[in-house]
Amino acid sequence: MSTKFPFPSLMTKRAGRALFSSTETWTLLAIALVLFYRFPHRLLTPQLWAEDGTIFLMGQRELGVTSLWVPYAGYLHLILRILALAMGTVAPLLLIPATYNIVTFLGTLLVGLFILRCRIELPYKPLWAFTLVFIPHPYEVYLTLTNLQWIFAAVLPLFLMQSPAPTRMGRIGEAFALLFLGLTGPFLVLFSPLVAYRVWRDGVRSRASIAFGMAALLAISVQSYFIVTFAPGSPPVQTALHWLMTSGPILFAGLFVGKTLPHLLLGENIAVTMQHWENTVPKTVLLLLGVSASIAALTAVILVLRGVWQLPKAQRALGLALIFCAAALFASVMRRGLSDPQPLGPFSGGSRYAYIPYLHLTWTFLLITQSPGMAANLGRFCLLLVGCSTLSTIGPPAPGTQDRQWAKYIRRYEQGETVDVPFPPDGLSGMSWRVRLVPPVPSR
């Protein structure tokens, strides 16, 4: 018995098949609704966000095509630069924030569609896609061009671990996709062991491995050059040692036991309360709590690893890949913490650094629900906690909801006035991010 889908416009026929299955349509619709519910201001009163303006908009306006190869923070952002260049070419300045946010909205849906169609067997596949927007990440990553790279990078393990495309054109397309993804952020460099595993698994001399491996090698080589050449330098040894001997141990332990796990599993309210314990709870009690939490976390980690190991071969490899990617990102954040402790500190800053670990841990919980014994129950329990934690995060309005009147400033600019345009987020001093728009000098 066939069931008619209530949205025929989404079920356009192509080559005798629906463009989207009913499962895909409902899942993408759910993702879209959650994004709109959580961040309506980013679609109804769109504004730039942080580097959206200072790096991508101004880079496109001042450098044009050459901005594609300009590194920021020590690496390239090729896809984001291409999007900024394209939107700056076709859209008037007045509509730039709206086009940025709409494109990132569509980009998130595209990533969700990839998860639904990836060539790897996943339990509860729609939930894998839905968790892109339904984890307790507060606000920073979603619907901002500058942080779209985190959503792209989150699915790199799935992209790398899936089976090769069955057609020649599909394999070529995936090689180009990997090249562009690898040149957007440092993530493929961090996850490069997965590329080696993929090439080994599919056969070093196979056509699929050759195209895939060459694309990955090119992207990793180029991005590594920029990272080595342009990344901020390491802090002096004495500064690093002083930081490690004072705040370092607490912050390092707090990154996983004190920051990631409470926020992911217990919710924002409890996590925010815990961040003040350093000033209110005696150090001895705090140490005992930290040791107890570490033992509990270590026990849970052992159970999760055991559950992953008991999975079928393909799912086991994916689970280990997810854990490796989360660990690699943790290591890179710790490395950065020597010169910038913000990512390791309270939840008031650097939340984007936790997005991929949150997501990969949640996906690992989904995987181990298929394991035998206690690991499956642990996975279900953790998923329940993640859901409750996410619901507690959705409630408060996200920062940056105040309309900074982009249109008013652009109209003044179009009338020939130099303007300093503010946009969120506010810095530690309370000042907004800003870009200065200088009208062109009329030619004589």
Percent of the chain residues topping a pLDDT of 90 = 47
Tokens of 242: 């002083």
**Statement: residue 117 has pLDDT above 60:** yes
95-106: b or e for each residue (b if 16 or more CB lie within 10 Å)? bbbbbbbbbbbe
In this prediction, residue 230 has a pLDDT band, given cuts at 50, 70 and 90, of: confident
Pick the most confident of 143-157, 221-235, 390-404. Answer: 143-157
- Per-residue confidence (pLDDT) for residue 380, from 0 to 100: 93
Better pLDDT: 363 or 18: 363
Tokens of 379: 């996975």
**Statement: residue 346 has pLDDT above 60:** no
What H or E segment, with its residue span, contains residue 111? Answer: helix 96-117
DSSP string, 193-245: HHHHHHHHHH-TTSHHHHHHHHHHHHHHHHHHHHHHHHSPPPPPHHHHHHHHH
Mean pLDDT of the chain: 82
- Per-residue confidence (pLDDT) for residue 232, from 0 to 100: 59
Burial of 306 (C-beta count, 10 Å sphere; 0-12/13-18/19+): middle
- Per-residue confidence (pLDDT) for residue 11, from 0 to 100: 45
Least confident piece of the model among 122-126, 140-144, 440-444: 440-444
In this prediction, residue 350 has a pLDDT band, given cuts at 50, 70 and 90, of: low
Q: CA 150, 114, 98: angle at the middle one, nearest 5?
A: 55
**How many CB atoms neighbour CB 295 within 10 A?**
11
- Per-residue confidence (pLDDT) for residue 379, from 0 to 100: 93
C-alpha to C-alpha distance for 369 and 378, rounded to whole angstroms:
8
153 touches 392 (CB < 8 A): no
329 touches 355 (CB < 8 A): no
- Per-residue confidence (pLDDT) for residue 288, from 0 to 100: 80
- Per-residue confidence (pLDDT) for residue 259, from 0 to 100: 64
Task: Looking at 338-435, list the stretches that DSSP marks H as alpha helix, in order from N- to C-terminal side.
Answer: 355-368, 374-394, 406-414
**Statement: residue 208 has pLDDT above 90:** no
54 touches 146 (CB < 8 A): no
- Per-residue confidence (pLDDT) for residue 155, from 0 to 100: 96
C-alpha to C-alpha distance for 350 and 343, rounded to whole angstroms:
5
Of 264, 279, 405, 417, the residue nearest 347 (C-alpha): 264
Backbone angles phi, psi at 6, to 5 degrees: -75, -5
- Tens of pLDDT, residue by residue over 93-112, are 999 999 999 999 999 999 99
- Tens of pLDDT, residue by residue over 31-70, are 999 999 988 888 888 989 889 999 999 999 999 999 999 9
- Per-residue confidence (pLDDT) for residue 274, from 0 to 100: 66
**Statement: residue 305 has pLDDT above 50:** yes
- Which residues are bridge partners to 437 per DSSP? 419
- Per-residue confidence (pLDDT) for residue 9, from 0 to 100: 43
151 touches 133 (CB < 8 A): no
What sign does the dihedral 78-79-84-90 (CA atoms) show? Answer: positive
**Statement: residue 214 has pLDDT above 50:** yes
- Per-residue confidence (pLDDT) for residue 50, from 0 to 100: 87
Least confident piece of the model among 64-73, 227-236, 277-286: 227-236
**Statement: residue 313 has pLDDT above 80:** yes
Least confident piece of the model among 126-135, 137-146, 239-248, 407-416: 239-248
Phi-psi map region of 7: left, alpha, beta (phi>0 left; psi -120 to 50 alpha)? beta
**Statement: residue 251 has pLDDT above 60:** no
Backbone angles phi, psi at 436, to 5 degrees: -100, 125
Say which residue the tokens 């606000």 belong to. Answer: 139
